[in-house]
Amino acid sequence: MALENDTTTEIEKPEKEVDFSGNYIEKFGKQDTRDQFPGAYVNWEKVGNSYIFHSENTSLELTVVTEDILKFRYGNFGYFEDDFSYGLDPDKKFEGVTSKFKETKDHFKVVTKTLKCYIYKDSLKTKICDTKDVILVEDEKGYHWQDEKVFGGNVVITTKKLKKGENFFGLGDKTGNLNLLGSRRELWGTDCYGYGNETDPVYKNIPFYLNLYKDTSYGIFLDNTFRSFFDFGKERKSACSFWAQGGEMRYYFINGPKLVDVCEKYTYLTGKSQMPPKWALGYHQSKWSYYPESTVRNLAKEFRDRKIPCDVIHLDIDYMDGFRCFTWDKKRFPNPKKMIGDLRQQGFKSIVIIDPGIKIDKNYSVYQQGVKNGYFCTRGDGPLLKGSVWPGECHFPDFTNPKAREWWATLYKGLISDGVAGVWNDMNEPAVFEDGSFPFDARHDYDGHPCTHRKVHNVYGSLMAQATCDGQNLYLDNKRAFTITRSAYAGVQRFASVWTGDNMATWEHLKIANIQCQRLSASGVSFVGSDVGGFIGSPDGELYTRWIQMAVFHPFFRTHSSGDHGDKEPWMFEEEYTNIVRKFIEMRYELMPYIYTTFWQYATRGTPMIRSLNLIAQDDPESYFREEEFMLGDNILVIPVSEAGAKNRKVYLPEGDWYCYWTDKKYKGKTEIEVETPLNQIPLFVKAGAVLPFQPKMQYTDEFEFDELTLHIYADDDENTSILYEDAGDGLEYKDGEQSVKKIITIKSLSAYIIRQKMQGNFESVYKKYRTVFHGFDSKPKMLMVDGNDITNQIELLDNTYTISLPKNFKEVLIS
């Protein structure tokens, strides 16, 4: 069925409840889906930062949010919905932005410092240009709608012109090609156990995409929680469309001109992540399920005895009493507080899973409270909604009710007093066994805007994560919350990290995980990882090793598996693989200062931690369709090995100079090379000019204080700046200035190489000095001066390079 065709459409495929174009259920038969349009302009008015243009059938509200962000809302027949959003950062106040306005015979023009927006009087179609009148995006059919007969509403649609050479990225948790051009995608959070590369939709719902065309870029954020669709030239190569099965057409245009600028501005709009506890960036071990207590203790002992670093052990649903949330099975875990305390002494944090389904049990206090206070979802005809999940028949909290969220937050008091350090939310699409999810007519509060589940489904998981995060903040006593969620909507980064769901132990899924993590990172959600080794099935040692090697460079780093498909602890494979896995997990901990700094850049500016090549080389057409190469932070290029038995693989290096991490061999960028891929290595390259901070190997985060931080400095002919961020690693003092930001600048002149350090903040790091290792320098220097002092005689040779000890507060190093 073609949504864009102005015809009466016959529904096909009766076995499917909803067809791909939108909303019509077969049993209702033939549906009238004729397009309706705004009509000609009648009058306009200005309210604050908004210009409201009224036409015969529709009103368009254009709001200047910032000089680079424009908001579009369409209200049919003069009616706008309440301007309420779960996706936007509630702390942001968008006021006082100046703009210019001009009316001509056939159009209006709204102008900011960077944009010109044209609104045409005959149709309310729009066109957005930069200050040089280069067209960024232009309506084709523009806004229109179709009567939706089944549910008594409208399908709201916007269609833009698609130029040859445009490319599309983002859209959050999606499988398939990284470049969305030529595809159609759906957002309807789904429990898709064992999904594949063609599965759509999957778990998360982030209606934000990025457009790249030549040297321009922009983003579109469709802030609508109904089931929605995006077509990037699949139906018609000349059109890009997005539509939703209800609600209001409300979207934000976000200007670049760089793709990474669009990512940052989108995150500014929807909210930034908080800094996590540093231990959450360590290695996590999980399985469905580790029980009883003796199994958990033995697991911890194995890690420490085998000297394989690990920070976190996860407990899946079998720790509960009959799968009742917020309880412990006292036979399996007779004294959880002592167990968790003992694990903490060994350097392990404990995370427990919590699902939304609350068992119907009159003797269960959580059930009693939810019923008594009206916190559970109801059916359309009044009674409490019931559905079967792990505990059997359950009721489900209405997380769109602020009082229910507050109540849910209080339920974490007991777990946190037991010592639980973080919470993992699952099954929150929401998933129900017999029906897949809630019925469409389930009722929700929606923060005072009552509605059905059709509007709530895509945001339900995010609101559960918000309530979970709030609960930890209530009881953690100045410690940082850590939440993981499977389902999510735009803005979830304010509350939680995510993982990519129930994947499989296959080489294809290693590739899928790589692309999903890149896409989510570009969509505001950088704190992301996959179930290493695959949740379903049993990897061999090679696949598990290659997956670990990739996941070292993903922000959330966890092995998780379904226990009935075999164990996936790092030592379950032949010793050859275990030794390599140990080496790479150790590398994760050595890189912790760099990874933590990269997270700070994300939390501060919204800069994606994982960056696809198109984000760093958008002027290079080769980057538009490269999928496996990615950057972690500013300076490390990672190329996973994604085929069994691979002895080498091709790698594309972006523009610039790059050093092979393993050999220090220097390569010119903007070219494809072939490199060897022995099992104990994956292709890693360091950007010339980088300064990479390394700490000593540890068995868990902050296992011990160390005297010396190692700086690896990679020579370059250009001036470069690297960042090192530090704080206590937990607690909230960093928000009050207990942090430090060090900028290390490298400059090559005709006669010398200069390294300068600029420091801000009052946090005092534990180490006393730097061990500085120089890469790519031709020979031992004749002179090395530190803050005016000659220390040439202290230079030490190290393999093919050299090293020297520097005071941590140095200001300038001169090498000649």
**Peptide bond between residue 356 and the one before it cis (omega within 30 degrees of 0):** no
Contact 232, 210 (CB under 8 A): no
Mean pLDDT across 749-767: 93
CB 666 within 8 Å of CB 659: yes
* pLDDT score, position 808: 95
Better-scored residue on pLDDT, 1 or 390: 390
Rounded Cα distance, 58 and 625, in Å: 39
Which residues, at least 6 apart from 51, have a Cβ–Cβ distance to it below 8 Å?
44, 45, 61, 62, 63, 101, 108, 110, 119
Average pLDDT, the chain: 94
Q: Is the pLDDT of residue 26 over 50?
A: no
Read off the DSSP letter of residue 317: G
8 Å CB contact between 710 and 723: no
Residue 19 has pLDDT above 70, yes or no: no
DSSP letter at 424 equals E
- For the chain, what percent of residues have pLDDT higher than 70? 96
Distance from C-alpha of 310 to C-alpha of 283, rounded to nearest angstrom: 5
The edge-to-edge listing of strands for the beta sheet with 753-761 is 720-726, 740-748, 753-761, 812-815, 784-786, 789-790
Q: Please report which helix (H) or strand (E) contains residue 454, including its range.
A: helix 453-456
Query: Is the distance from CB of 128 to CB of 112 less than 8 angstroms?
Result: no
Amino acid at 312: V
Quote the distance between the C-alpha of residue 440 and its chain's center: 28
Distance CA 713, CA 722 (A): 10
- Catalytic pick among 426, 470, 531, 726: 426
Q: Is the pLDDT of residue 546 over 60?
A: yes
Beta-sheet strand order (sheet of 58-66): 41-47, 50-55, 58-66, 69-76, 249-255, 216-222, 208-213, 167-170
User: Is residue 15 scored above 60 in pLDDT?
Assistant: no
Please give the Cα distance from 668 to 659 (Å, whole number). 9
Distance linking the first and last C-alpha atoms of the chain: 70
Measure the CA–CA gap between 4 and 355, rounded to whole angstroms.
Answer: 39
Q: Which helix (H) or strand (E) holds 340?
A: helix 336-345
Q: Is pLDDT of 717 > 60?
A: yes
pLDDT over 90, % of the chain:
90
215 is catalytic: no
What are the CA-CA distances from residue 690 to residues 43, 553, 805 (Å)?
Answer: 57, 17, 18
Q: What is the pTM of this model?
A: 0.95
Angle of helix 575-590 relative to helix 541-551, nearest 10 degrees?
Answer: 0
**Mean pLDDT of the region 192-211:** 97
Catalytic residue among 429, 628, 634, 702: 429
Three-state SS at 94: coil
Q: Could you report the per-residue pLDDT of 556-569, keeping only the tens digit for each?
A: 999 999 977 778 99
**Rounded to whole angstroms, how far apart are CA atoms 442 and 444?**
7
Instruction: List the catalytic residue out of 68, 223, 502, 716.
Output: 502
Q: What is the DSSP string of 642-680?
A: -STT-SEEEEEE-SSEEEETTT--EEESSEEEEEE--TT
CA 754 and chain centroid, separation: 37
574-581, Cβ contacts within 8 angstroms, sequence gap of 24 or more: 574/541, 576/541, 576/679, 577/541, 577/542, 577/544, 577/545, 577/679, 578/306, 578/308, 580/545, 580/549, 580/679, 580/680, 581/308, 581/544, 581/545, 581/548
What is the model's pLDDT at position 2? 39
Q: Where in the chain is the domain with CATH 3.20.20.80?
A: 278-590
Dist CA 435 CA 387 (whole Å): 8
Which residue in 50, 5, 53 sits closest to 31, CA to CA?
5
HSE-up of residue 365 (Cα within 13 Å, Cβ side) = 8
**Site of tokens 């649609």:** 157
How would you class 361 by CB atoms within 10 Å of its CB: exposed for 0-12, middle for 13-18, buried for 19 or more? middle
Identify the H or E element spanning 453: helix 453-456
Q: State the DSSP H helix or E strand holding residue 210, giving kind and residue range, or none if neither.
A: strand 208-213
Three-state DSSP state, 545: helix
Residue intervals of the chain classified under CATH 2.60.40.1760 are 8-191+210-256
Q: What is the mean pLDDT of residues 147-167?
A: 93
The secondary structure of 709-765 as a DSSP string is EEEEEE--SS-EEEEEEE--SSSSGGGGT--EEEEEEEEE-SS-EEEEEEEEES---
Q: b vs e for 753-791, b when ≥16 Cβ sit within 10 Å of the residue's Cβ? A: bbbebeeeeebebebeebbbbbbbeeeebeebbbeeeee
Q: Within a 13 Å sphere around the CA of 495, how many CA atoms are in the beta-carbon half?
A: 30
Give the CATH class of 705-815: mainly beta
Token couple for 584: 């790479």
Supply 216's token pair: 């321009």
CA distance 791 to 801: 17
Q: How far apart are CA 738 and CA 492, in angstroms?
A: 26
Structure tokens belonging to residue 515: 């692309």
Determine the 3-state secondary structure of 318 from DSSP: helix
Which regions of the chain carry the CATH code 2.60.40.1180? 705-815
Q: Predicted confidence band at 33 (pLDDT cuts at 50, 70, 90)? A: low
Question: In a 3-state reduction of DSSP, which class is residue 493?
Answer: helix
d(CA 787, CA 785): 6
Residues 397 and 355: their CA atoms lie apart, in Å, by 10
- Positive or negative, the Cα torsion across 786, 791, 797, 800? positive
Q: Which residues contact 105 (CB under 8 A, 6 or more apart)?
A: none
* Structure confidence by residue, pLDDT tens digits, 416-474: 999 999 999 999 999 999 889 999 999 999 999 999 999 999 999 999 999 999 999 99
DSSP string, 215-246: TEEEEEEE---SSEEEEESSS-TTEEEEEESS
Is residue 282 predicted with pLDDT exceeding 70? yes
Q: Is residue 509 a contact partner of residue 503, using CB atoms and an 8 Å limit?
A: yes
Nearest to 766 by CA among 722, 812, 723, 703: 703
pLDDT at 25: 34
Read off the pLDDT of each residue in 176-202 and give the average, rounded to a whole number.
97
What's the rounded Cα separation, in Å, for the pair 718 and 784? 20
Gap between the Cα atoms of 675 and 642, Å rounded = 14
Residue with tokens 């030549």: 214
Determine the pLDDT at residue 780. 82
Instruction: Give 424: exposed, middle or buried? Use CB within 10 Å, 0-12, 13-18, 19+.
Output: buried
pLDDT of residue 4: 39
Decide if domain 8-191+210-256 falls under CATH 3.20.20.100: no
Q: Which distant-in-sequence residues (6+ apart) come within 8 Å of 320 by Cβ? A: 327, 328, 329
What class does CATH assign to 278-590? alpha beta
Token pair belonging to 529: 């990882």
Does residue 426 have an active-site annotation? yes
Is residue 664 flagged as an active site residue? no
